[in-house]
Amino acid sequence: MKTVYAKHEPYENGHLGKVVNDMIVAGQPTIRVVEQNGSYYALEGSHRLAAAYQMGIEPKLVIQIEDCDEGLNEFWEKISSTLPRYDFEAVYVMNLNNFK
């Protein structure tokens, strides 16, 4: 199981429905993330993550920062309990060098 934290909950203005409809056509979303202790923190794409989770689609994750210093690790640990969390059976992970 892989955990991906989103930046925020989906807005209640119907945007999630539009994203779901777009994803039906476009398929698997690509989300830029930071990896920390085996979890992923999204830098974008809160609605795409929620839609992928709802639809059972494995997201593609592009790791933006390979190594975090201790201060940044502590930051992610402190805020993780306040963020929406999505658990996926699997995710496809790419590093920035392989993403084009």
- Taken as a whole, the chain contains a residue count of 100
The CATH number assigned to the domain with range 2-98 reads: 3.50.50
Q: What is the pTM of this model?
A: 0.80
Query: pLDDT per residue over 32-52, tens digit each?
Result: 998 888 889 999 999 999 999
Calpha distance 40→93 (Å, rounded):
10
| Amino acid letter, residue 92 | Y
The Cα angle at residue 54 between residues 52 and 55, in degrees rounded to 5: 65
- CA dist 99 to 4, 16, 21, 26, Å? 19, 26, 25, 18
Query: pLDDT per residue over 48-92, tens digit each?
Result: 999 999 999 999 999 887 656 666 777 878 888 889 898 898 888
